[in-house]
Structure 1
Amino acid sequence: MSDTVQSNCHTSLKTALSGRELLDCPVLNKGNAFDRRERDLFGLHGLLPTRIATLEEQADLARARLAALPDNFSRHIALREIQDRNETLFYAIIDQALEAWLPIIYTPAIGRACREFSHIWTRPRGLFLNYTDRGRIAEILSDPQWDGVRVIVASDGGSILGIGDQGANGMGIPIGKLSLYTACGGLDPARALPVLLDVGTDNAALLADPEYIGWRHERVRGADYDAFIAEFVDAVNARWPNIALHWEDLSGADALRILRRYRDGMCTYNDDIQGTAGVTAGALLAAIRAGAAPLARQRIVIFGAGGAGCGIADLLAQMMVAEGMTPAEANRRFFMVDINGLVRAGMDGVTEGQRPFAQPADIAATWNVANAAHVTLAEVMDNVRPTMLVGTSGQGGAFTRDIVAPMARQSVRPVIFALSNPTANIEATPADLLEWTGGRAIIGTGGPFAPVTCDGCVRPVDQINNSYVFPGVGLAVVAGGITRMTDGMFLAAAHALAGLSPAGGTDDRATAPLLPPVSELRTVAMAVARAVIRQGQAEGVAPQASPEAVEVALKAAVWTARYRPYEKAAPGR
């Protein structure tokens, strides 16, 4: 919003807006907290009640009203309405107790919010770029209000969480992710732009919904889809050469293909693939400190061989190579299972992401299986005897007692990460996983769960959530001048995250959490950002700077929820 505001996190702000226009600008509106000088300067007398409130008073009142609502979905809607009126107040509300508010502004509440987005949408936020807008994308992005944007989160709504194709309703995800960039990483809200690439939907219920806000057309695919994405990427590159373009919840095989096509030409990353991999790798490193098998002895089954599962395998394999394995040796440690069973060489439909981890075609020849052409998850578990099981399938209840219990007999501290979202889609609950393994499993989930009492001990349930990684990545791009995102940076993020783990080296390592508490996500983001910038400098994709200069840049980039004094800018500035 450089035409209306010169954004600086620590000084006064200048804006040419006044009166109703100022009150209607969410990143500038203070409501009844505008003081008398500002009311004089910006023509606000008569538009606001007499009493001047503080931000703390506004936040306390809002929290009381939110607490009176019947459920978290109602609170999600109310919080989004607050955000659309007053961004600073929105973040002041959630900053006080981030751990309590995160499940409301993102998972699990965001799943229902996306399903019902057309019915709860009231005010434009971000950009809806429709397939019918092709040829005009650069023109749309040229609006001066977007001059200061540094981070874009873009989705085509094709694979939202575990609930599938939500079309334009998927806009809830870019909005929610950028809220986490600010809440967890300190991104200035004025620098954030959510984008929904509306290429239609194959969701029959949405197409039949008279309230659906998106393009009523079957989903565009193939060369036409790729051309539309290319126009968008080219326009972004021309408009903002140093922006971070974060892809989220793209449909099917599009995610990896788009990432590989554009990652060498701009600063772009896919959070479902790379962010999920980064936090999973960090959690595994922490689990090893807590007693899990060393990386060189890990045998890993991944149930759900899509973008997230393949991204996890790829990054963990790179960690193994860094510890001395050959790429071939590392890849053979992974057993990917999808709807067609164990992924093997020569099978129909093996994707580009699965190919490095496809097991030999004849691997099941000596196994005890019912059908060597379709090896099930249970059969893989029986024959591989894994030390780690990861779920990214979206198949609720897929990890049964018969699948999980043997892991505790085969490994001292088996690692089980059930990462699917929303909560209804999780492969197994934490309570069941601990019961079936006699409390020996090191567990983590994709969504939030309350602690579980097992054998008289209270066990925290780690949320292996991408919010431990991507806010720090965004902060690194903004503060560190990073021009490309590499796998090495996500490895650096994983090691930084593991370095903050409370687990390991103490008598309570069996019950200590793997990851820092959600309340410390700002601290985590700073640590991740430092590591990512250092790695970027080492790889030549970030300008060289001293550690002291990096620290100054990081602190200057962090936005905090407080009201800054406003000054009048000349019209048009």
Structure 2
Amino acid sequence: MGSEFWVSGDLGCQGMGIPVGKLSLYTALGGVRPSACLPITIDVGTNNEQLLKDEFYIGLRQKRATGQEYAELLDEFMSAVKQNYGEKALIQFEDFANHNAFELLAKYRTTHLVFNDDIQGTASVVLAGLVAALKLVGGTLADHTFLFLGAGEAGTGIAELIALEISKKVSTHYNIYCLPFFSAELSDRLSDHFFGRHKAPVEETRKKIWLVDSKGLVVSSRKESLQHFKQPFAHEHEPAKELLDAVQAIKPTVLIGTSGVGKTFTKDVVEAMASFNEKPLILALSNPTSQSEVVQSLLVEAHLTPFEYNGKVFVPGQANNAYIFPGFGLGLIMSGTIRVHDDMLLAASEALAAHVTEENYEKGLIYPPFSNIRKISAHIAAKVATKAYELGLASHLPQPHDLVKYAESCMYSPVYRSYR
């Protein structure tokens, strides 16, 4: 598990608690055997003057390494992991700074089994919530327009996975109607054979998705000054400096907050969303709660407790990455997968969304309760493994007949000997 922890003021080597905590969740929620897990923090120094002057700080007392020195260290680490543990060693990147996170994922995803939870895990769990929410707001993902406040690794990662999911679901094709004596199934097969059935290009589906960063709406006129991961979402439009201006101009059906800036979904923004949407979908995803975009007094209290509105009790939920990554990792491990493919993330999202029940919907929930997480993780693992076998990326052969039961059989549960 890789972690270059650079949040909350640059904690240096004291960020070790993050990989330790993540691996605890892998075991508790996904059943990954703890003896197969190794928490790692890559100490490249710290720019935190308080830590550098602290006599009890145990990390490297130097400024953070950057540039070629940093790249060479990461390359040496990645090569060593592969050399010592093989193709099937899963490396999870966590809490890397934006500029490093995207570059490292792009560099190593074709040569190693790597997964970035901040980019891919967050995207998968949010996509699951959106897919589930369609039963409440109606339509398909392609029918909706998405506006993000925040265009970092979380925001752009979610946006890209939404675009990919829409691309997979929307196809352009021709049907053979001139041969009525063919069955519908045969007609579809002939249509595919002669005319082709193609998914919509991701470049097109991205046009349903807009971003707002610290300088305002991300538009094509700003493209040259944008970081590379924002550029695919820089569409033709007049600039808009403030979020409210962007909401009124774009008229999104879905508003998603990944900015890390608290209380930015103001009353005016929420009312604007409600003015042109019968059922606006608003997801305030930044944490901790104090940094959540939502103004709690407008919607729900901060303590995530049930509340009553118009005589009906609603239960606030949380789009937590822990819904996805433990089961996702289990699916990779139990199938012996050698590379992570985006289709596996989509499969994980759909598996999670499928566990939202009518009873959950009645309470306004778009995620299932965590009390069922081990069962959910087993189903996510099975769907991820299924996709790995379909793509020819699984090495544990032959494929088990019942992957859900196989996942459950692979899950570690602590059993202690009784001494009484």
Q: Secondary structure at 2:293's aligned position in 1?
A: coil
- 8 Å contact 1:451–1:458 — kept in the other structure? yes
Q: How many angstroms does 1:344 deviate by?
A: 2.2
What is the aligned partner in structure 1 of residue 322 from structure 2? 467
CA distance in 2 between counterparts of 1:195 and 1:448 reads: 33
Q: Cα 1:561–1:429, aligned 2, differ >3 Å: closer, same or farther? A: farther
What is the aligned partner in structure 1 of residue 120 from structure 2? 274
Task: Please say which of residues 487-496 and 391-400 is displaced more in the overlay.
Answer: 391-400
- 8 Å contact 1:448–1:463 — kept in the other structure? no
Match of 1:522 among 371, 374, 377: 374
CA distance in 2 between counterparts of 1:498 and 1:448 reads: 24
CA distance in 2 between counterparts of 1:299 and 1:375 reads: 19
Task: Determine whether 1:173 maps to 2:18.
Answer: yes
Match of 2:4 among 132, 156, 172: 156
Task: Determine whether 1:416 maps to 2:282.
Answer: yes
Q: How many angstroms does 1:315 deviate by?
A: 0.3
What is the aligned partner in structure 2 of residue 493 from structure 1? 348
- 8 Å contact 2:128–2:350 — kept in the other structure? yes
What is the aligned partner in structure 1 of residue 97 from structure 2? 251
Match of 1:204 among 38, 45, 49: 49
CA distance in 2 between counterparts of 1:256 and 1:419 reads: 20
Match of 2:69 among 217, 224, 233: 224
Q: Cα 1:492–1:448, aligned 2, differ >3 Å: closer, same or farther? A: farther
Q: How many angstroms does 1:202 deviate by?
A: 2.2
Q: Secondary structure at 1:218's aligned position in 2?
A: coil
Task: Determine whether 1:538 maps to 2:384.
Answer: no
CA distance in 2 between counterparts of 1:235 and 1:564 reads: 38
Matches within 5 A, 1:17-28: none
- 8 Å contact 2:386–2:403 — kept in the other structure? no
CA deviation vs aligned residue, 1:54-86 (integer Å, no higher than 9, x gap): xxxxxxxxxxxxxxxxxxxxxxxxxxxxxxxxx
What is the aligned partner in structure 1 of residue 165 from structure 2? 319
Q: Secondary structure at 1:411's aligned position in 2?
A: coil
CA deviation vs aligned residue, 1:473-509 (integer Å, no higher than 9, x gap): 1111221111111110000000111111124xx7x84
Q: Secondary structure at 1:337's aligned position in 2?
A: strand
CA distance in 2 between counterparts of 1:538 and 1:463 reads: 32
- 8 Å contact 1:290–1:510 — kept in the other structure? no
Q: Cα 1:547–1:563, aligned 2, differ >3 Å: closer, same or farther? A: same
Match of 1:481 among 336, 339, 344: 336
Q: How many angstroms does 1:406 deviate by?
A: 1.6
CA deviation vs aligned residue, 1:99-150 (integer Å, no higher than 9, x gap): xxxxxxxxxxxxxxxxxxxxxxxxxxxxxxxxxxxxxxxxxxxxxxxxxxxx
Q: How many angstroms does 1:547 deviate by?
A: 4.4
What is the aligned partner in structure 2 of residue 29 from structure 1? none
- 8 Å contact 2:121–2:321 — kept in the other structure? yes
CA deviation vs aligned residue, 1:159-185 (integer Å, no higher than 9, x gap): x3xx35222121111111111111111
- 8 Å contact 1:292–1:412 — kept in the other structure? no
Task: Please say which of residues 300-309 and 217-226 is displaced more in the overlay.
Answer: 217-226
CA distance in 2 between counterparts of 1:209 and 1:422 reads: 27
Q: Secondary structure at 1:253's aligned position in 2?
A: helix
Counterpart of 2:3, as a letter, is S
- 8 Å contact 1:430–1:452 — kept in the other structure? no
Highest CA radius of gyration, 1 or 2?
1
CA distance in 2 between counterparts of 1:247 and 1:391 reads: 22
Q: How many angstroms does 1:244 deviate by?
A: 0.8
Q: Cα 1:258–1:448, aligned 2, differ >3 Å: closer, same or farther? A: farther
- 8 Å contact 2:137–2:280 — kept in the other structure? no
- 8 Å contact 1:281–1:494 — kept in the other structure? yes
Matches within 5 A, 1:92-103: none
CA deviation vs aligned residue, 1:236-293 (integer Å, no higher than 9, x gap): 1111111111000001211011001001111111000000000000000000012244
CA distance in 1 between counterparts of 2:123 and 2:23 reads: 19
What is the aligned partner in structure 1 of residue 250 from structure 2? 384
What is the aligned partner in structure 1 of residue 235 from structure 2? 359
Q: How many angstroms does 1:448 deviate by?
A: 7.2
- 8 Å contact 1:288–1:294 — kept in the other structure? yes
Counterpart of 1:555, as a letter, is E
Q: Cα 1:524–1:549, aligned 2, differ >3 Å: closer, same or farther? A: closer
Q: How many angstroms does 1:556 deviate by?
A: 3.2
What is the aligned partner in structure 2 of residue 563 from structure 1? 416
CA distance in 1 between counterparts of 2:342 and 2:133 reads: 21
Counterpart of 2:369, as a letter, is P
Q: Structure 2 unaligned segments of length 5 or more: list them.
A: 171-199
Q: Structure 1 unaligned segments of length 5 or more: list them.
A: 1-152, 365-371, 436-446, 567-573
What is the aligned partner in structure 2 of residue 50 from structure 1? none
Q: Cα 1:457–1:468, aligned 2, differ >3 Å: closer, same or farther? A: same
Q: How many angstroms does 1:375 deviate by?
A: 2.3
Counterpart of 1:558, as a letter, is M
Q: Secondary structure at 1:541's aligned position in 2?
A: coil
Match of 2:312 among 457, 473, 489: 457
What is the aligned partner in structure 2 of residue 150 from structure 1? none
What is the aligned partner in structure 2 of residue 283 from structure 1? 129
- 8 Å contact 2:247–2:269 — kept in the other structure? yes
CA deviation vs aligned residue, 1:196-224 (integer Å, no higher than 9, x gap): 01112223333343433322222211111
TM-score (norm 2): 0.87
CA distance in 2 between counterparts of 1:398 and 1:519 reads: 32
CA distance in 2 between counterparts of 1:429 and 1:475 reads: 37
What is the aligned partner in structure 1 of residue 219 from structure 2? 344
CA distance in 2 between counterparts of 1:205 and 1:462 reads: 37
- 8 Å contact 1:502–1:513 — kept in the other structure? no
Q: Secondary structure at 2:118's aligned position in 1?
A: helix
CA distance in 2 between counterparts of 1:192 and 1:356 reads: 36
Q: Secondary structure at 1:484's aligned position in 2?
A: coil
Matches within 5 A, 1:229-248: 229-241=74-86, 242-248=88-94
What is the aligned partner in structure 2 of residue 183 from structure 1? 28
Task: Determine whether 1:511 maps to 2:363.
Answer: yes
Match of 1:403 among 251, 269, 274: 269
CA distance in 2 between counterparts of 1:186 and 1:264 reads: 27
Q: Aligned-residue CA RMSD in angstroms? A: 2.2
Q: How many angstroms does 1:353 deviate by?
A: 1.6
CA distance in 2 between counterparts of 1:545 and 1:432 reads: 54
CA distance in 1 between counterparts of 2:314 and 2:411 reads: 33
CA distance in 2 between counterparts of 1:338 and 1:394 reads: 11
Q: How many angstroms does 1:382 deviate by?
A: 1.2
- 8 Å contact 1:199–1:225 — kept in the other structure? yes
Task: Please say which of residues 303-312 and 452-461 is displaced more in the overlay.
Answer: 452-461
CA distance in 2 between counterparts of 1:205 and 1:338 reads: 30
What is the aligned partner in structure 2 of residue 87 from structure 1? none
CA distance in 2 between counterparts of 1:244 and 1:292 reads: 38
Q: Secondary structure at 2:38's aligned position in 1?
A: strand
